[in-house]
Chain A
Amino acid sequence: MCLAVPGKVIAIMEEGGLKTGRIDYSGMVNTVCLELVPDIVVGQYTVVHAGFALSIIDEAEALQSLETWAEFLELQRVADGPGRSEPENP
């Protein structure tokens, strides 16, 4: 039930006195309420749950976290040396 999907804000308008936005989920677009993320601007990504944007995705944090993992895996790969095979999954 707490399923929430990331999407990009492509337009912001007002509907019935509420800050509202069009959100693009890689092709599928719908309209959601932006009242809970008052500072959001067009071009930012958000996490949408039950018709409400809940957060502004911290792109810098996301990028940094992925880069950290990429570096960690690269170091591990170097440490493992060539020819090492992955253990079989149980």
Chain B
Amino acid sequence: MRFVDEYRDPELARRLLAEIRATVTRPWTIMEICGGQTHAIMKHGLDQLLPPEIELVHGPGCPVCVTPLEKIDRAIAIAGRPAVIFTSFGDMLRVPGSCQDLFMVRAAGGDVRMVYSPLEAVKLARQYPECEVVFFAVGFETTAPGNALAIRQAAREGLANFSALASHVLVAPAMRYLLSQPTNRVQGFLAAGHVCTVMGLEEYEPLAAEFKVPMVVTGFEPVDILEGILLTVRQLEKGEHRVENQYGRSVQPRGNPAARQVIDEVFEVADRGWRGIGIIPASGLAIRARYASHDAEKKFAVTAITATEPTGCVSGRILQGLTKPPACPAFGRACSPAHPLGATMVSSEGACAAYYRYQRRAVLS
């Protein structure tokens, strides 16, 4: 497959690993922000091939994991109502709320449907004018333009029965939060290639300069990730801290202007709660007032629903790179993908779920 197979070449990967080994002289802690990259690192065993000096820690870049409990509870409250078709990407359906998940709502007779694109939800609103169609709009900047475009399209078509339950998060404010913590261990970042495909590189320049950390925008195939690590290590070893773009085949410096424009038209920046972390200022996107009639939280008056995170789960520390999943006493015992206790086990892209799936249960750090 073009633009995939070339980046899975074992010989190139072996050579990049040799170059990383030849470059590194002392310990470095590097965070990959994106859950998709965490998953790829585990799947291809890259963490086990790197020299011992390089520690990869796994960031909060899994929007399913960081969606606050109260948003899930609000989704469940809306989905259980009569004459509502509740739509969502598949990975949100099994995320546990305070008492149940969306699959349980469906089992109890609720009309909960999985969609591949938010435009499918708009299509349902067109097909079923007698029903309220609600789309659970979850995601980072990668997903935001499509979700924004769906809301705009529904508004243009006058589909008053379409609304979105928005739970959008932004990567750069989360990186700033992590770097500002006194406990921060991260010395370099692999920035998320698809987020930057939309947003470009501008947001990262001030972060790299202020916190003196290299930021290498990185793709998702094994060769991409190894090249991203090599570029980061080269900067670290030279004492540099620049924004570098490994994923130039998809990422332009200014991102995708059409995508940024539609995000800005439909959403505005807002404070956002992150499951396992808490509120991070200006780290999310909320639906603008002019699209309020398509805002499910307002339409269904569910903002009074609040929830308290259960205690005992260390996912907040895992999302900040402060601990690794196998160090948690519940990992693989009380907590598993079938019965997740917290944020990082609920989604297949969560760090705990990735460690569980790829048998990193014995690795203690």
In the complex, chain B residues 214-244 whose Cβ is within 8 Å of any chain A Cβ:
220, 227
Q: Is the CB of A50 within 8 A of B194?
A: no
Q: Is the CB of B248 within 8 A of A49?
A: no
Chain B residue nearest in CB terms to A69? B12
What's the nearest-Cβ distance from chain B to residue A28, in Å?
10
Chain A residue nearest in CB terms to B3? A6
Chain A residues whose CB sits within 8 angstroms of the CB of B116 once the complex forms: 50-51
| A65-B249 contact, Cβ under 8 Å, with A47-B197, A50-B117 | yes
Q: Is B293 an interface residue (CB 8 A)?
A: no
Chain B residue nearest in CB terms to A20? B119
Q: Is B185 an interface residue (CB 8 A)?
A: no
Chain B residues whose CB sits within 8 angstroms of the CB of A9 once the complex forms: none
Q: Is the CB of A35 within 8 A of B258?
A: yes
Q: Is B132 an interface residue (CB 8 A)?
A: no
Q: Is B49 an interface residue (CB 8 A)?
A: yes
Chain B residues whose CB sits within 8 angstroms of the CB of A37 once the complex forms: 256, 258
Chain B residues whose CB sits within 8 angstroms of the CB of A8 once the complex forms: 2
Q: Is the CB of A1 within 8 A of B143?
A: yes
Q: Is the CB of A66 within 8 A of B6?
A: yes
Q: Is the CB of B259 within 8 A of A36?
A: yes
* Bound-state Cα–Cα, A51 to B89, Å: 11
Q: How would residues 37 to 64 of chain A score, 1 for a CB under 8 Å from any chain B CB and 0 otherwise?
A: 1100000010101111011011101100
* Bound-state Cα–Cα, A26 to B1, Å: 6
Q: Is B63 an interface residue (CB 8 A)?
A: yes
Q: How would residues 62 to 90 of chain A score, 1 for a CB under 8 Å from any chain B CB and 0 otherwise?
A: 10011001000100100000000011011
Chain A residues whose CB sits within 8 angstroms of the CB of B52 once the complex forms: 90
Residue from A38, A49, A62, A69 in contact with B143 in the complex, judged by beta carbons closer than 8 Å: A49
| A52-B18 contact, Cβ under 8 Å, with A26-B1, A47-B197 | no
Q: Write the residues of chain B forming the contact surface with A, with a CB cutoff of 8 angstroms.
A: 1-4, 6, 11-12, 14-15, 17-19, 21, 34-36, 48-49, 51-52, 61-64, 89, 91, 116-120, 138-140, 142-143, 145-146, 149, 153, 156-157, 192, 194-195, 197-198, 220, 227, 248-252, 256, 258-259, 262, 347, 349
Which 5 A-B residue pairings sit nearest by Cβ, starting from the closest? A51-B117, A62-B249, A6-B3, A52-B146, A26-B1
Q: Write the residues of chain A forming the contact surface with B, with a CB cutoff of 8 angstroms.
A: 1-6, 8, 16-18, 25-26, 32-33, 35-38, 45, 47, 49-52, 54-55, 57-59, 61-62, 65-66, 69, 73, 76, 86-87, 89-90
* 9 contacting pairs across A/B (C-beta < 8 A): A1-B89, A6-B1, A36-B145, A36-B256, A36-B262, A47-B250, A51-B119, A62-B6, A76-B15
Q: A1-B64, A4-B142 are in contact. List 8 more A-B contacts (CB 8 A).
A: A1-B143, A26-B1, A47-B250, A50-B143, A54-B256, A54-B259, A55-B197, A62-B3
